[in-house]
Structure formats: C-alpha cells, structure tokens
Structure 1
Amino acid sequence: MAPIDIPMPAGDELPKPEVYLLTFGPKGHAVQRHSIRSERMVDGEGERTASSDAPQAILQRLAEGRAAGHPYTDVFVISHGWLTSTDNAIADYARWVELAIGQRPLHRLAPDYHGMVICVHWPSDPRDTGYRVTRAVHYAGWWLEKKLPFLSFYRMKDRAFRIGKNGLAPILKEMTANYPEARIHVMGHSFGAIVTSNAIAQEGVMADSLFLIEGAMSTWSFADPIESGRAKSKATEAVENAIDHVTGVVVGSSSAHDRALSVWYPFAESTRSLFWWSPNREPLWGGYGRHRFGALGFRGVSGKLNGFDAQRREVPHGTLEIDYALERGAVYSIDGSAVVVPPSGKGTWWTAKLMGAHSQILTPEISNLYWQSAGFPLALAAEGVRPVGDRAAGAERAVLARVEPL
C-alpha cells in the first residue's frame, strides 16, 4: 500500500516532521525495533521509514540534520497509556500528529524550526498479540489477564516505570548530552505519564517541557516531602524530582469527567496492599489521608512544589484564541473539564459510564495548550489576545526559580 502523506496546512512552509515509532519490550531495556507500521507514519518526504534499530536511527537523523546545516530544533516525545494495543497506538498517534500539525499556523514557530516526533509504544495490553509470552510460568497469569484485562493494572503500572527508566531514559540522556540544540518536549497520557515522568527523572536527562494529560499517577507525584514523617510511596518517590529536570513548563491536565481516575484508580491503589504479589506495596492506612490515592488526571497537581503551589488554569471550550501566559520554570495544574468530556453517540454508553472522559483528549483546545506548553505562543498573542487568569482569585504564583523567565 502506498504511504498516505501527512496533511499539511495551507501556507505552512515549514518542513514536515519525521515521525518515529519506538517499540519497547516488557522490561524496557529490550528495544525491539524501529517500526513504522502505519501508512500515516512517514518521514519528511512523505515516504514510509524503513525498519531499523530505533535509537540509532533517531540519533543518526539528528546527526544528519546537524551536518546538513538544518538541525532539529524540537523533538516531541509522546507515550500512550494502559490497555493500548499496537494498532490502536499507531492510529491514535497518527490522529494526534495530524491534529498538532494542523495547528502550526496558529503558533509562532521560528523560521529555522525543524521538528521530529517520537511515539513510544510499550506492551500495555495483555490482549495485544504483538508481544509473546516467553516464560511458561507466566502463562496462567497472562491468560487470565487476557480474558480480564483490568487485572493487569498493577503489572502494567510497574511496567510503565521500567519502560521509562530502562527504555526511554537512555535515549533521552544521549540526546540531552549530544544534541543540546534540540529542545525535548515530553507528553504522556494515563500510564504514559509514568513512562515519561520516570524517564525525565533519571540522572543526565533534561527536557524543555513536560505535558501530562489525564495522568494515571499520584496527585502528589511532584510534591515536597510530607510533614510529620509521612513517607511517600515508592512509586511517587521515583518521579518526584522529574520537574527539576524540566527547564521550561510543566503542565498537569485533568478532567472532572474522568471516571477511570476518579473511581477506579483510587480503588485499585487503595487495595494494592492486599495482594501479596503486587510490587511496591504500601500500608493501606496513613499516608495522605482520604486524598492519598487521588490521581493527577482527576485532582490535578497537589502539594507544595519546591515550596510553591502549582498555578491554576482552565481550558475554555470552543475557542483557540487563548494565551495561557505560561512562564518557564513554573508548574501548572490545568482543568480541562470543559473540553475533555465523555464520548457521546451510538455505542459509547458503556465507555462513558465506565471510563468517562479518560481517553477523550484529541481536541483542538488540548492541542493548543500543548503547543503553548512547548514554548510556542499564539501568533495572535502580540495583538492583544487576553490571557487566561487563575481559577482562584489571588492564587499564589508558582515560579520555581530554576531558570530565567522568557
């Protein structure tokens, strides 16, 4: 089948982004291959990229761009979440890339802008036949999870940490060290927020922006240590310094309509200590009280962050002419309830009731916020487009003084 070209907006003279799919094995450090299996996943010339070893292929392209005098200025790294099959991951990534490209004319991109997109795919769905079970001792558990995939919650959450640390972090570390001219923008959805946060938290990794949408991780993930000697969970401790590795903007986007994170996530986390086979078990009682098991994608970013609260914003529905006035070095907790809403229409009733708006993130308003969090303001901002104010009057600004403001 001939590759389908990524549609480009009229009047957009910037080069087309090259889109790569990184496929990781269950332990993270076993990178399987660089596979572009969708006709929509193409290189800058609209041709499908050949299969090869993923990290080397990406790093080689960065080196070639630099040698040709047209270095990559921005690398966008995206990770999906739980229960995402190979085919669904490719389809969702293609839709997100097309949505983002369609908004390029709305934002101020430098004349030398040259983008690359790295889509991370990891085995998060036991029903995905793209990954084989190699040990017979795991077959019974794999079979049960394949029939009842929700039972894989704990294993896939722990796998997300491994993928971030063992798989993605080494690649980002090499990019940080050898290609400082390329700004790295990292985005994660659901358990993908764990993948990306844990990758950035590793020593030697730096990113220019971190965008977490409907993150299936603790609302306290980046908070300062809790008083009275209350220790964080091991999982939360693993990512708490990720925001210190971000030189630009950190955004945690949430929705009040996310039933997966408002109901099922805290239920699963609060009962985790009951299962002897579950890694990173924590005492059932104590910790953060009744909010201990809240999810970032539902409650937003909670707690003090280097002594400050996260700034609060809201995403309004139906308009893209919004300047969020995001400042480098700040952490934002942004309520997307107006646009991240449950699906409607025929055949969506069960999804809306069980999961709510958890996966309904492919909206122009969220893409607009994503571009601004990556440091690309609206092209109309210079003409007086109003900024979005804090939700709570007089809310304390949370500039963390890690870097100079823009």
Structure 2
Amino acid sequence: MSQETVPGHDDLTYNLLNFDEQGRERGSGSREVLARAEAEQPTDLFVFSHGWNGDVPAARSQYGRWIATMAACAADRERAHDSPGGFRSLLVGLHWPSKAWGDEEIGTDPVVERFGGSPEARAAIGTIVDHAMTDIEPEVLPPEVVSAYEKLDGLDDDKSTEGDRVPFDAEQLYQGCRLEDDPVSFGSFGFGGILAPLRVLSFWKMKKRARTFGETGAAALVGQLQQAASDARIHLVGHSFGCIVTSAAAMGAARPVASLSLIQGAMSLWSFCSAVPARPAMAGHFRPLVANRMIRGPVVVTRSVFDRAVGTFYPLGAWSGQQLAFEADEWPRYGGIGVHGLHGPDVDVVEHQDVRALGELTPGKVHNVDARTVIATTDGIAGAHNDICHPELGHLVWQAVAASR
C-alpha cells in the first residue's frame, strides 16, 4: 500500500491498494487501511476503482485528479461537515491490472498474459502478428488469422449476462472496424487493420476481469471495511470498467452500501433490469442491487454521446462488427451505460437532462445524468471517455453522498 497525497490539497490523502487479476492483494496494505478504519471510525468511506487501460501510475494520476476535483467542491464539503454526526472520511483507491498494450508491445509476453498466458494464446497471437507484419490491412482476413481469433475467443468464454454478445466473428468485426474514421497507422500498429479485432476482443476480456476482481478482492475489502467501521457509510465510485468492479463489490458487501456512482460506465445498459429484452428469461447481472435494495442511497450514472470508447468499442465487440439497427425510440440490444444510462423493466429511473442543472437525488432510485455538456473533450479513439474531472461531476458524487444520509 502507498498513502498518496492529493495535488493541491496537501492535508488530504488516500490509500492506494494493489491487486492482481484474480483479486489477490499484492502486499498487505489493506491491513493498515482496516486498522485505520477501526481506530478512526470514519463516518464515510470512499472506495474508488479505475477502469480499462490503467497501470499503477495511471491509477495514481486519475485518483489524484478525481479526488482533487471532489475536494475543490467547497460548498459540498462544508455541507457534509455540517450534517448531523459530522463528517470524517477515509479514502481508498483500488488498482487492478487493466492496462491495454502499446503498439510496441504487440506480440510480447504482457499481451499474451492478457489473454490467459497459455501456449494456445501465445500461438494464436503469434499467427495474428505475423500476418500483420506482412500485410496490415488485407481485403479480407486470411483463414489462419480467423482461426487464431476463434481460438483466442474460446479460451475464456464469458457466459454471464454482463458478457452477453453475439458469437465472435473476426471477419465481420474486422470489416466493421475498417469503416471507422480512424485511419490505419502504417508506421506502427494502430486501431485498424488485422489487429483491430484483437484490441476489441481484449476490451471484452478485460470486462470479465473487472467483474472477477469486483466479486473477489474488491468485495472482500468492502466487507472488511464494513466490519472495521460498522457505522460508516460506504460510497463506491467507479469509472469505465471500474463501474463493473464497484457494482460487483456492492453485490458482495456484508450489508447495503450508501451510494454508487457510475462514471462513464463500460457495462451493459440492461445490468439492473429484471428481464433483458433480448433474453427475457434472464435478469441483468447486477439486478440484485436494486431488487434487494443493496444501495441505500441513490445510484448515479453519467452518460455522454461523446464517449467513443463506450459508444464504439462496446457495440463493436458485442455485435462483432454487425450494423446496430434499432428503432429511434428503442434502446440498443447491446449498449453501454456511459452512452445510454441504465434501463429496462423494473428499474426505477430518474432522467436528468443536464448535469449542470442537477436537483436533489432520491435514495433507492437510479439517476441517469446527461453529462455531455461537460464530458465533451475528445482524446483519440476513446473520445471523451476519460474527460471526467469536472466540478459538476464532483458535485454529482457529493449529491449522492448527501442523499444517502
């Protein structure tokens, strides 16, 4: 564990805990956190989870900026301190291995490890990379490459509703990616070309890893924190795949958590519903969170049409490059909450049209908050997915905290 300072707020610290892909802690930092929680008895515990493509330096940077954003909301902090019982906080940032690869890493051991590290994964990735070195963008994928992708996909199949998608079709996905606006980088491996299905497939593999970590290491930690500080309110805040982590942690908690903030989530828009429209016999993976009232306060969800990571990668991976056709007044069969919000049967939803005009939040309800007015600055193929350090979003989380009291 490392105790980190927050940029611009030298009196404020958070605890950074490090876990492996199976949810096992690296080191023993959680013992120190639990000892602090037991000794200090905070009124409010905040647990943060980053999302896809985060190594330790990236996690440290994101948590520092995000917590600084919340700390800068002076009126909200004052309101919390003036509330009955006061306000004493303990902050924990979780790191789990979700780093995608850089172009220079293609074909190396770290990339193989992201697909399970088996000899089969190594051979399949080797075949794909060898063909990419010869011709990065053929008219159609060579049969050997198609076979290699099929083997990769079959090594770790995700049968849950949260992993629900049509059977992986590398050729359709490849052709779908060729229609995207991003040009192929011939000087290095870019988003397009033969490697495009590999990047999208890794997106879905990392999605399953987020759930595995949430159900194991993150859930265990939240349960232990609840025991160490029995009267504390626990607020879970996730970004991207971190929304899966925090949702899974809430499901595994010892008792209901206080609030759940899902910032630009890369998780299914049907995750909380009682019957997934395309599969009506099956409920959303995180349905128990609302059915069993496992979130005492509100669930807040931000969405932005400028989030290209959720808006493009999510449906591309789910539909394997097929066209997404649905009626204008319908939600897509496969879509992420970072663009669409949470929906479906028996989800009590309140829609907010502009994060800048946010009213009071209601406990026990899902609040879909359109944040396109602030989550708008694009950064490469991810679009505005990481544009989350705005005072309006800090205020949104503080509103969830206030509504959970």
Aligned position for 1:161 = 211
Amino acid in the other structure paired with 2:26: Q
1:76-87 equivalences under 5 Å are 76-87=46-57
Q: Deviations over 1:214-255 (max 9, x none)?
A: 11011111112247972337xx42x22123211011111101
1:374-385 equivalences under 5 Å are 374-375=401-402
Q: Do the aligned partners of residues 115 and 83 (structure 1) sit closer, same or farther apart at CA in structure 2, a change above 3 Å counting?
A: same
1:83-162 equivalences under 5 Å are 83-107=53-77, 108-111=79-82, 112-127=86-101, 133=113, 137=119, 139=122, 149-162=199-212
Q: Which structure 1 residue ranges, 4+ long, deviate > 6 Å from structure 2?
A: 128-132, 141-145
Give the 3-state SS of the residue equivalent to 1:194 in structure 2. Answer: helix
Structure 2 alignment gaps of length 5 or more: 130-151, 153-188, 190-194, 323-329
Aligned residues of 1:199 and 1:205 also touching (Cα < 8 A) = no
Aligned position for 2:251 = 201
Structure 1 alignment gaps of length 5 or more: 10-15, 34-52, 66-70, 274-288, 377-404
Number of residue pairs the alignment of both structures matches:
314
Aligned residues of 2:6 and 2:14 also touching (Cα < 8 A) = no
- Residue 23 of structure 1 pairs with residue 18 of structure 2: yes
2:267 to 209, 217, 220: 217
Aligned position for 1:293 = 334
Q: Do the aligned partners of residues 5 and 355 (structure 1) sit closer, same or farther apart at CA in structure 2, a change above 3 Å counting?
A: closer
Measured in 2, the distance between the counterparts of 1:63 and 1:298 equals 39
Aligned residues of 2:5 and 2:12 also touching (Cα < 8 A) = no
Q: CA shift at 1:8, angstroms?
A: 3.9
- Residue 341 of structure 1 pairs with residue 311 of structure 2: no
Measured in 1, the distance between the counterparts of 2:386 and 2:6 equals 26
What percentage of residue pairs aligned between the two structures are identical?
29
Q: Deviations over 1:332-360 (max 9, x none)?
A: 111111111033xxxx5xx1xx2221111
Q: Do the aligned partners of residues 123 and 270 (structure 1) sit closer, same or farther apart at CA in structure 2, a change above 3 Å counting?
A: same
Aligned position for 2:327 = none
Give the 3-state SS of the residue equivalent to 1:97 in structure 2. Answer: helix
- Residue 241 of structure 1 pairs with residue 282 of structure 2: no
Aligned residues of 2:200 and 2:317 also touching (Cα < 8 A) = no
Aligned residues of 2:19 and 2:95 also touching (Cα < 8 A) = yes
Choose between structure 1 and 2: higher helix proportion. Answer: 2
Please report the TM-score for the alignment, with normalisation by the length of structure 1. Answer: 0.69
1:40-79 equivalences under 5 Å are 53-65=28-40, 71-79=41-49
User: What root-mean-square deviation, in Å, do the aligned CA atoms of Structure 1 and Structure 2 show?
Assistant: 3.2
Q: Do the aligned partners of residues 5 and 374 (structure 1) sit closer, same or farther apart at CA in structure 2, a change above 3 Å counting?
A: closer
Aligned residues of 2:238 and 2:263 also touching (Cα < 8 A) = yes
Q: Deviations over 1:104-134 (max 9, x none)?
A: 3444023531111111111001439998959
Aligned residues of 2:5 and 2:14 also touching (Cα < 8 A) = no
2:305 to 237, 249, 256: 256
Measured in 2, the distance between the counterparts of 1:150 and 1:113 equals 43
Q: Do the aligned partners of residues 5 and 55 (structure 1) sit closer, same or farther apart at CA in structure 2, a change above 3 Å counting?
A: closer
Measured in 2, the distance between the counterparts of 1:156 and 1:368 equals 30
1:346-361 equivalences under 5 Å are 348=379, 351=380, 354-361=381-388
